[in-house]
Amino acid sequence: MVDRRRAGRDLAYMHPERVTRLGEDAYLVRGSKGDDYEVSLGGGSCDCPDHQNRGGRPGFRCRHWWAVQSLSCSSVTYKPKRIRSADGKKEAWTVAITRTGVLLEVMGGTMSREAAEKVSAALNGETEQVTERRSA
């Protein structure tokens, strides 16, 4: 069985360029086979074949509708993330990039916990500038 919510979220996060806003409540979503589908977020409709065939079921939403919903209701945040070595003895920090609690990627490189917190705060717009000198 296809998890349309997850498929839509994956489409939105991996290919946000395939979702175009047409108006207040109308979006155009390019499907996996290159076809464009018009989605009405508020109306809960899409003109894709999946929605046309199953859209009468209560609560049904296709992956294109979920993609639009994921992008319109989510925001990107940056959070400090602890990284441990394979043996669990060493610890370092980096910054995780998340959207609505879903990990998108981790920034390259490691740093101290304090530096990760400062970088996260700056990327989230909570501070104006981050400067830290590395010791030699």
| In the chain, domain spans | 4-72, 76-123
DSSP state at residue 58: T
Q: Determine contact, residues 46/65, Cβ cutoff 8 Å.
A: yes
**pTM attached to this predicted model:** 0.52
The size of the chain, in residues, is 136
| Segment 40-72, tens digit of pLDDT | 887 888 999 999 888 777 778 889 988 888 777
* Pairing status of strand 36-40 against strand 45-46: antiparallel
Question: How large a percentage of the chain has pLDDT more than 90?
Answer: 11
